[in-house]
Structure 1
């Protein structure tokens, strides 16, 4: 089964850091959305917390809140535990099955593209918190379709089972009962650390196209995700 890679060590083998080097940037992206919408959640949960770096980074930016991260991978949970402290806790459990709820904010950062039944997953979360914040990779672009092997690489190395454009991501959330409050693109291809040379080269046409039309640039060249705040 595709999800077994997260419990048998297969995902950790391909991603030894569990992408923790990206966490400070992602925490800053989340903080920017909350500031823009004048939100100050006092209880924040994260499903699929991974190595816990996003919550740790968010606690640095917003130290007066309580944070709890849920993770099904024993390997990721072990990494996250090293970050646990006062008001920052991690649980090795499936939040969907436990029924935990009542949070001000629930984060699902680069998560549901990994879940086989992503529709069921989203429907199960819709009433777990007042606000829900999703970060969704936009894998569906013209470049991805034209370059042979990229989808297979993403599936094999990153574990993405589903591929979204902005429109299909928004429609999925709406179909599952979410009301979109705010959204913005995030550009991993520009802002995440230690990007490979080919990504930096591709950023040249990405920036040129974005100067003309940002939506068109994302559709053509990819290199972006979308951050979506919902109720």
Structure 2
């Protein structure tokens, strides 16, 4: 059995993934990701959201940030299988926001909005996961890294060991995966994590200059295919 296989089977429970993130579980990116989500929801006022669930909520920062931006009637629930991440999320608990250590699908509750932010690329049977997520809420929001791009292919880049991503997507295959699992795509937009997320923009400063220049000259979608650094945020039902 390969080291990579061993890592992916137990990394989220035994602390390996926490170490991979430098002990932060990407908490520093939460404010930006929550902002993207709120922007997407603001574009669709017809999507009435009062109960919000996040599957694979990590350290809880996204839900905590959303709570400060949504009406006081909104309720938030986060599910996480990592004891380390769950312990970090407890700092954000209150009477409107709770965090549960365990399987979201073992809980029978149904929500207005179910989110999986940078999650299903980590799941071995991602299609079963997506079908279950679709059934758990009226609306769904997914954030999916677009790891397949020309630059990465030419360099032999592998997101298994560096990021724990065992499924690699383009924009088109991410959208098709949702359609295949009974979702109806309502809207989506690209997010430039390489330039905007705190844990990445310092490392990609030079390449980001090229990205911005090419976006103006060609298009964001083309730059995502060529250089990478992007994800897609999707609203579905």
TM-score by length of 2: 0.92
Determine helix, strand or coil for the equivalent of 1:7. helix
Indicate which of 204, 217, 224 corresponds to 1:218: 224
* Structure 2 match to 1:22: 29
CA gap 1:166/1:88 in 2 versus in 1, 3 angstroms = same
Paired residues in the alignment total 227
2:188–2:234 contact (8 Å) kept in structure 1: yes
TM-score by length of 1: 0.94
Deviation at 1:198, TM superposition (A): 4.6
Distance in 2 separating the partners of 1:110 and 1:79: 18
Residues 24-53 of structure 1: per-residue CA shift (max 9 Å, x gap)? 000000000000111341100000000000
Residues 174-194 of structure 1: per-residue CA shift (max 9 Å, x gap)? 000000000000110111114
* Structure 1 match to 2:116: 108
* Structure 1 match to 2:68: 60
Deviation at 1:195, TM superposition (A): 3.2
CA gap 1:219/1:62 in 2 versus in 1, 3 angstroms = same
* Structure 2 match to 1:43: 51
RMSD: 1.3
CA gap 1:198/1:69 in 2 versus in 1, 3 angstroms = closer
Indicate which of 152, 156, 159 corresponds to 1:144: 152
Deviation at 1:3, TM superposition (A): 3.2
Distance in 1 separating the partners of 2:113 and 2:38: 12
Distance in 2 separating the partners of 1:199 and 1:156: 19
Unaligned 5+ segments in structure 2 are: 1-5
Unaligned 5+ segments in structure 1 are: none
Deviation at 1:63, TM superposition (A): 4.1
1:101–1:129 contact (8 Å) kept in structure 2: no
Matched ranges for 1:132-211 at <5 A: 132-148=140-156, 150-151=157-158, 154-195=159-200, 197-211=202-216
Distance in 1 separating the partners of 2:19 and 2:118: 19
Distance in 1 separating the partners of 2:201 and 2:37: 24
